[in-house]
Amino acid sequence: MTPAAWAAPAARTHLVPACPHRTSTRTGIHSLGACVLVLVSLAAIACGPAQPAAVPPPQSSPLEFIAEWGVRGEAPGELAEPVGIAVDPSARVYLADRRSGLLQKFESGGVPLFSFQDRAVRSASSIAVDSGGAIYIADARAGRISIHFPDGDLLRNFRVAPQRNGDGPFGFSVAADGTVFVPDPDGGRIQAFRPNGRLERVWRLPPASTGGPARPVAVAASLDEFVYVGDARTGRIVKYTRQGAQVAVWDAPSDAPAPLRGMAVSRSHLFVLRGATPQLEVWTLDGQRILTDTLGSRLDASPSASLFLAVTRDEQVFLLDPAQPRVLHFRLRLPSL
């Protein structure tokens, strides 16, 4: 824009026309009458009823619903008994299906891209994908994680703590350096494995304020070198360094419905899924809850129903609802400061 465009606008001309010079002639009287009529009309317009103020449109949620997709069936590209969801840096979606034994990859909009069949999928509890596209399949009950190349070939298996009594959520995470962080709900601890499957370190969560043992069910490793752990027993989030040093504890808000059902982390925020009628919370990475969203009441899952959550670095949110079965796709759009 040129500087001239920023110049002050010219002064407005008067809206009331100047009256002609008044004389004693009839013409002058008529002219005076016309002026009076003009003035009265303008005054009536100015003093008339005020126009109603424009009502601003209702503010939409920063969590934008994009689409849902899923076709029931056991063939490639279909969903019969999906139990896990993961996303890669390109927002491609990975699902494990117990009934068909298929590990499948889709575009974000649900277009099938690739699938392979493996017996590990039939007992899968959850899955993860690392930055190179390798696929991790966890069988929590048996205590095993299998790693597959992006084309589906098996790379290795390694042992983790088995969960003999656990049927709830189970979410593990692969950090950027390949470290695998696995919750041990029955043992109240976190296990960290090197990329070759060797156990590197173990740490326990502090007990709940009521004195009961912690029950970690979800781990999310972020790009900022921290690990976030969700405790199903209390609903709290415990933040650690990757070496297991505790940094902070975020207690569940008093208005947050129990239980904790899933957790995932993006580049800038932590996403927590809670409640019998699920709600999604968004937290800053320093522990401020900035959003609670009911997901448009699109989910009416029972408290015992499994739900799976995955988030991309650029804050696309994917939620697997196995009962339908379907995938819900959202995007977080927070106003820039």
Tens digit of each residue's pLDDT (9 = 90 or more) over 26-47: 444 344 344 333 333 434 444 4
Looking at residue 95, what is its pLDDT? 98
Mean pLDDT lowest for which of 10-24, 130-144, 189-203, 209-223? 10-24
pLDDT higher at 212 or 116? 116
| Alpha-carbon gap, residue 226 to 245, rounded angstroms | 10
- pLDDT reading at 160 higher than 60: yes
pLDDT higher at 4 or 179? 179
Read off the pLDDT band of 230 (50, 70, 90): very high
Q: Which fold is adopted by the domain 63-332?
A: Neuraminidase (2.120.10)
Looking at residue 58, what is its pLDDT? 52
Residue 309 near residue 85, CB atoms below 8 Å:
yes
- pLDDT reading at 255 higher than 60: yes
CB within 8 A of 207, min separation 6: which ones?
188, 213, 214
pTM of the model: 0.81
Mean pLDDT lowest for which of 109-118, 126-135, 209-218? 209-218
Give the start-to-end residue ranges of the domains of the chain. Answer: 63-332
Return the DSSP state at 101.
T
Chain-wide mean pLDDT for the chain?
84
Residue 216 near residue 184, CB atoms below 8 Å:
yes
Looking at residue 45, what is its pLDDT? 41
Length of the chain: 337
Residue 295 near residue 261, CB atoms below 8 Å:
no
Read off the pLDDT band of 4 (50, 70, 90): very low
Residue 182 near residue 176, CB atoms below 8 Å:
no
- pLDDT reading at 189 higher than 50: yes
Which residue type does 76 have? P
Mean pLDDT lowest for which of 74-88, 169-183, 293-307? 293-307
